[in-house]
Amino acid sequence: MTAQKAITGARIFDGLFWHDGQALLLDGGTITGILPQSDLPAGTETVPADGQLLVPGFIDLQVNGGGGVMLNDRQDADAIRTICAAHAKFGTTALLPTLITDTFEIRARTIAGGRQAKVENVPGFLGLHLEGPHLSVARKGAHDPALIRPMDQADLDALLDCAGDFDAIMVTVAPENTTASQVSAMAKAGIIVSLGHTDAGYKTVVEYAKAGARTVTHLFNAMSPLGHREPGVVGAALDIGSLHAGIIADGFHADPVSMGIALRAKNGPGRIFIVTDAMSTIGSDQTSFLLNGREIFRKGGRLTLADGTLAGADIDMLASVRFAHEKLDLPLDEALRMASAYPADAAGIAARKGRLLPGLDADFVLLTEGLDMASTWIGGTRVFQA
């Protein structure tokens, strides 16, 4: 009995090129290749996908919750499973459940829950994103200022201790509360250090990038802006080629004009990639929820505190891809790269995920020609069918 399976009849985007009249061949959870259907090995199981688009699975490096669950409220493996399953319905095949600024104890429980999720091989679970608490109060956004604090040795030790436990782990910090030497220690241990919620200037970002910071968290939001005399974090993110930058593509966190300018201005090889910054509302009918004891309201596609401060986003990855394609006037293949190949590059997992190439994980999404969901596949297994 063969483990080989082929998805046939779809137009395939492998992350680089489109393929027509071809089939995606899988061997268990791994991609074998893209080849003419007439060349499929004898005995291959075929899955018809006529008229659909077959694209790399989406990778979301900033997901605070989903399915009615916030990671800040529940840190166990079942909570992580619920979050991953909620986002799989919208094409996300790998994600980093994200803990917003909280206590040392909650962070420890999150790491323990993540380790258990890894043991249980929760579909879609990539690792963790710890956003804070070592941020700038001046750029706190919806983070609780009472919980923001400098990174001390116990914090650093806790992070270094779990550095090798996940496929990827990201930590968002601000130079105001984290030293360059701490960033260097985390980067050397394999942690993706992201700069965010900071009022730092350009020269400081250059210093921290040299120390090992690799990404910038939700470009434009909660950071010093691009000015004519001080380029700020925004200017640094666009100018420094080694930095990647996440961006929330919902039309509320950044104006489409500003997003388009940033995409045209970004120096490489680092790229701008899509994150959702999604909260528990995705895949639920919630109209409000609590974050660190404060109520977040859901209305008109926005999530806000009572004072109107944006508090995460109410958008999924497929909707973000549509926004990038339709509102930013990006070619579909580039919008898809922003949700798959580019976050894979930023997270250092491109040898396994982000493209549909031989030897990589069989994580992919089938879409209708109108960019609606058809099905989601993780490791060669269909985990969602519309």
**Do both 70 and 139 map to the same domain?**
yes
The domain spanning residue 35 has which CATH number? 2.30.40.10
Q: What pLDDT is recorded for position 1?
A: 41
**Do both 361 and 320 map to the same domain?**
no
Cα angle vertex 353, ends 87, 95, to 5°?
25
Residue-level pLDDT, tens digit, the chain, 386 residues: 457 999 999 999 999 999 999 999 999 999 999 999 889 998 899 999 999 999 999 999 999 999 999 999 999 999 999 999 999 999 999 999 999 999 999 999 999 999 999 999 999 999 999 999 999 999 999 899 999 999 999 999 999 999 999 999 999 999 999 999 999 999 999 999 999 999 999 999 999 999 999 999 999 999 999 999 999 999 999 999 999 999 999 999 999 999 999 999 999 999 999 999 999 999 999 899 988 888 999 999 999 999 999 888 999 999 999 999 999 999 999 999 999 999 999 999 999 999 999 999 999 999 999 999 999 999 999 999 99
**Do both 378 and 341 map to the same domain?**
no
pTM given for the model: 0.97
Residue showing tokens 């806790």:
158
**Do both 326 and 376 map to the same domain?**
no
Integer Cα distance of 312 and 177 in angstroms? 22
Start-end of H helices in the chain:
77-88, 104-119, 153-161, 180-188, 202-211, 232-239, 256-265, 317-326, 332-339, 341-347
Domain count, the chain: 2
**Do both 169 and 188 map to the same domain?**
yes
Q: What tokens does 48 get?
A: 């018809």
**Do both 108 and 256 map to the same domain?**
yes
**Do both 106 and 189 map to the same domain?**
yes
Q: What pLDDT is recorded for position 109?
A: 97
The domain spanning residue 156 has which CATH number? 3.20.20.140
The conformational region for residue 332 under phi > 0 = left, psi -120 to 50 = alpha, else beta, is alpha
**Do both 114 and 168 map to the same domain?**
yes
**Do both 64 and 33 map to the same domain?**
no
Domain of residue 8 covers 4-55+355-385
User: Which of the following is catalytic: 60, 144, 277, 316?
Assistant: 277
Q: What pLDDT is recorded for position 2?
A: 52
Cα 330 to chain centroid distance, Å, stands at 19
**Do both 97 and 232 map to the same domain?**
yes
Integer Cα distance of 217 and 215 in angstroms? 7
**Do both 114 and 200 map to the same domain?**
yes
Q: What pLDDT is recorded for position 193?
A: 98
The string of pLDDT tens digits covering residues 267-308 is 999 999 999 999 999 999 989 998 888 899 999 999 999 999
CA atoms within 13 A on the CB side of 356: 35
Q: Decide if 277 is catalytic.
A: yes
**Do both 74 and 194 map to the same domain?**
yes
